[in-house]
Copies of this chain bind each other. A is one copy, B any other.
Amino acid sequence: LALALRRNKLFLFGCSSVLRRNLSVLGSTRSMASKTPVGFIGLGNMGSPMAKNLIKNGYPVIATDVFPECCKELQDLGAQVVDSPAYVAEKADRIITMLPSSPNVIEVYTGSNGILKKVKKGTLLVDSSTIDPAVAREMAVAAEKMGAVFMDAPVSGGVGAASMAKLTFMVGGLEEEFKAAEELFTCMGANVIYCGQVGTGQAAKLCNNMLLSIGMIGTAETMNLGIRLGLDPKLLAKILNMSSGCCWSSDTYNPVPGVMEGVPSANNYQGGFGTTLMAKDLGLAQNTATNTRTPIPLGSLAHQIYRVMCSRGYANKDFSSVFQFLREEEAQ
């Protein structure tokens, strides 16, 4: 029944290729069958809680990381820790990778001890790193040559969402292979969106974050301008939010201290989504735009602004701290 329900929900989102699901009703069905091992490569801030959620859901996990000390906690929870991606590929036919950047992904897949050195035919390879869509497509081609299947499935949601299995996965790959990956995503996240061919998961994530950064900087400079023109910040936020200026950064994550509660601007820009991470994603968006010869004037300027902020003390603050960066009054 639960499975049938799940199938029905697949198409509820209005478009056959999108699904959105609340996992809370499904939890009880998961541990019923004995499960095949899942490989997990990359046990950093994000990868570690994701792998733990697989273990919690009854999956034997075979893990590795370039920093062996990252594997310790997972080993204590029962994961088998091995020496290299190649070993993981020998032992698991579904492998998830969660790595910092494109070069790491290239190394882990195609390096001398990489997955593809030992991958078995039919293995499902899921990369949840945020990387250049072009690299995702290269990995898919390389995997296909070895008879394996590659999907890109970057996430949104941060470390907190990773711990609570509340991530959103944006998935690119062959639709017919999507099912096999889906049961794993649902252990680690709350939403799964099928985006199309390989690389479109990355594309969707980069597009969203680029527009997010534009909305955030735009909100910051608009609020700052309004305040200097004599408007009360709370009132201005209300006017914008009932008008055509409304965006997620103005109504859900307002960057001006005192306007909203429970957001990083209310907490000295601690927590949230760091400026460094935004700069990284904007760099990837920039690369894809340059490579496809797509003009992105505002996205490009947003990128430069976050770049400058990174070197002026904002690297580890939430990306809404751009308000603070632009705000300070000039000395008269």
Residues of B within 8 A of A228 (CB): 292, 294
Q: Are A226 and B246 in contact (CB under 8 A)?
A: no
Within 8 A of B (CB), among A297-322: 297-305, 307-308, 310-312, 315
Q: Are A294 and B221 in contact (CB under 8 A)?
A: yes
Given known A-B contacts A200-B231, A276-B330, A221 and B296 have beta carbons under 8 A apart:
yes
Residue in B170, B212, B239, B279 whose CB lies within 8 Å of A293: B279
Residue in B231, B247, B296 whose CB lies within 8 Å of A246: B247
Kindly state the separation between the CA atoms of A246 and B277 in the bound complex, as whole angstroms. 19
Q: Are B235 and A196 in contact (CB under 8 A)?
A: yes
Within 8 A of B (CB), among A127-160: 133, 156
Kindly state the separation between the CA atoms of A315 and B331 in the bound complex, as whole angstroms. 8
Residues of B within 8 A of A300 (CB): 286, 300-301, 303-304
Binary per-residue interface labels of chain A (258-281) against chain B in the complex, 1 for a CB within 8 Å, 0 otherwise? 000000000000000000100100
Residues of B within 8 A of A225 (CB): 203, 206-207, 210, 285, 288-289, 292, 294, 296, 299
Q: Are B214 and A226 in contact (CB under 8 A)?
A: no
The smallest beta-carbon distance between A194 and chain B, in angstroms, is 9
Chain A interface residue count: which class?
35 or more
Flag whether A329 is at the interface (Cβ < 8 A): yes
Q: Are A235 and B195 in contact (CB under 8 A)?
A: yes
Flag whether A27 is at the interface (Cβ < 8 A): no
The smallest beta-carbon distance between A281 and chain B, in angstroms, is 11
Flag whether A34 is at the interface (Cβ < 8 A): no
Flag whether A20 is at the interface (Cβ < 8 A): yes
Q: Are B289 and A215 in contact (CB under 8 A)?
A: no
The smallest beta-carbon distance between A26 and chain B, in angstroms, is 20
Closest B residue to A311 by CB, please name it.
B328
Q: Are B312 and A295 in contact (CB under 8 A)?
A: no
Kindly state the separation between the CA atoms of A185 and B303 in the bound complex, as whole angstroms. 39
Residues of B within 8 A of A17 (CB): 232, 235
Q: Are B244 and A248 in contact (CB under 8 A)?
A: yes
Flag whether A243 is at the interface (Cβ < 8 A): yes
Given known A-B contacts A203-B226, A293-B283, A296-B225, A156 and B232 have beta carbons under 8 A apart:
no
Flag whether A36 is at the interface (Cβ < 8 A): no
Residues of B within 8 A of A156 (CB): 243-244
Residues of B within 8 A of A219 (CB): 211
Which 7 A-B pairs have CB atoms at the shortest separation, nearest pair first? A247-B247, A214-B218, A211-B245, A203-B229, A208-B245, A311-B328, A295-B307
A–B pairs, 30, beta carbons within 8 Å: A156-B243, A196-B232, A203-B229, A207-B223, A207-B240, A208-B243, A208-B245, A209-B245, A210-B221, A210-B245, A214-B218, A215-B218, A221-B295, A224-B296, A225-B296, A228-B292, A229-B292, A244-B249, A244-B253, A245-B248, A247-B248, A276-B330, A293-B310, A293-B330, A295-B307, A295-B308, A297-B326, A298-B298, A298-B301, A310-B331
